[in-house]
């Protein structure tokens, strides 16, 4: 095939796609769109920079994504806090590469140091935060999302005063400057069954308990993005370590042999980080995540949170070294690194509709980078 032939094939695919009535995803089966996508992929080598090719590829991919999303009407969606996804770099437990705590990294925007203290944080911990965050929003809205955004913090000074009051309560530091919204209590109660519903995970009661417990123990000192009352996102540099929440539980069903079959959990967002998290949820500083997202490989989930979910752009370029750093890919073999990124990260995201497509660009002077096409939100 040459470029002229590729353009002719593109014209034929475009005509077939254009002949489908609107809305296209309701007027053609998924097999038809996947067949068109396969033919488009065969043209990528020749037309990857062609605007018509990119637009058509995006349209076909979006149709597939919409069909898959609407096929199962019971598909659950969670909200995910943008601030959390931007601020936290995942720290995974890899036996061959032990971590020394506290672990430091540099926030790319502010250039300030961030830390995680005595605990790992991977895709499962992010999932816990998505689930309990959505539970809180539904409680605040009366079994539905709140109709209007609200805010805990008016400005950075509010956050600073709260932090001082939490860490120096005996001195009653800045108590007169703490807004009534800051002192409001935010807590939820849920069961094992609720957790399974919100995550679409078939976990035992012990597994759910351990996962929530592990998530509650991790302490951070972060540069945390917070949406203020003026609707602007501002970075708050935490001065002390904080957890996201405190939790307790009761055993609601126990077998005769002592095995716990179900529990009820009580989560309170009373910490500084918990208040920042709740503020962002209430102010609509969040994104939607389909429950099938949690079925993706762990590295694909972490990549999506680090680089994609909080962007509204349709095109993005990322250096391979940046991906290696964020996902802790320690292998020194470049070929194996590329295979891991493309086969375990990017391809699964394309197959599930979280990416439209990707291209690798090898440049001996500037290094390897990946160009991504992101579906519109």
For the chain, domains (ranges, CATH) are 1-71 (no CATH), 77-295 (no CATH), 296-377 (1.10.10.10)
Strands (E), 118-243: 187-191, 219-221, 223-227, 233-237
Closest CA to 108 of 313, 336, 362, 310: 310
Which pair of structure tokens corresponds to residue 251? 């055993």
Buried b (16+ CB within 10 A) or exposed e, 253-289: eeeeeeebeebbbebebbbbbbbbbbbbbbbbbbbeb
Give me the DSSP letters along 39-99: HHHTTHHHHTT-HHHHHHHHHHHHHHHHHHHHHSTT--EEEEEHHHHHHPPPB---TTS--
What are the start-end ranges of the E strands in the chain?
77-81, 103-106, 113-117, 187-191, 219-221, 223-227, 233-237, 246-254, 260-268, 286-290, 315-319, 357-363, 367-373
Do the beta carbons of residue 203 and residue 124 sit within 8 Å? no
Taking the C-alpha atoms of residue 117 and residue 115, their distance in angstroms, rounded to an integer, is 6
What is the rounded CA–CA span in Å between residue 115 and residue 103?
A: 5
Q: Which long-range contacts (CB under 8 A, 24 or more apart) does 143-147 make?
A: 146/282
Give SS3 for 221. Answer: strand
Distances 64 to 31, 67, 143, 253 between C-alpha atoms, Å? 9, 5, 31, 43
Q: For the chain, what is the total number of helices (H) and then of strands (E)?
A: 15, 13
* pLDDT tens-place values along the chain, 377 residues long: 898 999 999 999 999 999 998 778 778 888 899 999 999 999 988 898 888 998 899 889 878 877 776 655 446 789 999 999 999 999 998 878 888 999 999 998 889 999 999 889 999 999 999 999 999 999 999 988 898 999 999 899 989 989 988 887 766 554 445 554 555 689 999 999 999 999 989 999 999 999 999 999 999 999 999 999 888 999 999 999 999 999 999 999 888 888 888 999 999 999 999 999 999 999 999 999 887 899 999 999 999 999 999 988 889 999 999 999 999 888 888 899 999 999 999 999 988 888 888 999 887 677 899 999 998 77
């Amino acid at each position: 095939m040459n470029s002229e032939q590729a353009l002719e094939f593109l014209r034929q695919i475009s005509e077939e796609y254009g002949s489908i009535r609107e809305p296209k995803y309701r007027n053609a089966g998924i097999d038809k769109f996947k067949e068109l996508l396969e033919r488009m992929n065969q043209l990528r080598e020749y037309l990857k920079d062609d605007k018509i090719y990119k637009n058509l590829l995006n349209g076909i991919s979006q149709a597939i994504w919409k069909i898959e999303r609407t096929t199962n009407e019971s598909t659950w969606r969670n909200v995910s806090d943008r601030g959390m996804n931007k601020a936290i770099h995942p720290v995974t437990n890899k036996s061959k590469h032990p971590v020394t705590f506290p672990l430091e990294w540099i926030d790319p925007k502010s250039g300030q140091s961030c830390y995680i203290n005595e605990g790992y944080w991977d895709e499962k911990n992010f999932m816990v935060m998505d689930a309990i965050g959505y539970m809180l929003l539904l409680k605040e809205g009366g079994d539905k999302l709140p109709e209007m955004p609200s805010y805990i913090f008016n400005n950075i000074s509010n956050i600073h005063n709260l932090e001082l009051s939490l860490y120096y309560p005996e001195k009653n530091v800045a108590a007169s400057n703490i807004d009534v919204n800051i002192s409001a209590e935010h807590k939820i109660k849920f069961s094992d069954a609720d957790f399974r519903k919100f995550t679409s995970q078939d976990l035992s009661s012990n597994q759910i308990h351990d996962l929530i417990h592990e998530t509650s123990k991790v302490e951070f000192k972060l540069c945390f993005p917070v949406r203020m009352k003026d609707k602007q996102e501002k970075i708050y540099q935490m001065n002390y370590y904080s957890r996201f929440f405190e939790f307790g539980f009761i055993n609601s069903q126990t077998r005769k042999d002592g095995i716990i079959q179900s529990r009820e959990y009580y989560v309170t967002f009373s910490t500084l980080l918990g208040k920042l998290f709740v503020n962002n949820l209430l102010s609509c500083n969040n994104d939607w995540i389909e429950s099938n997202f949690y079925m993706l490989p762990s590295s694909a989930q972490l990549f999506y949170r680090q680089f994609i979910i909080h962007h509204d752009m349709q095109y993005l370029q990322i250096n391979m070294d940046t991906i290696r750093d964020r996902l802790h890919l320690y292998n020194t073999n470049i070929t194996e690194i590329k295979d891991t990124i493309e086969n375990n990260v990017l391809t699964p995201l394309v197959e599930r509709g979280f990416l439209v497509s990707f291209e690798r660009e090898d440049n001996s002077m500037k290094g390897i980078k990946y160009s991504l096409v992101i579906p519109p939100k």
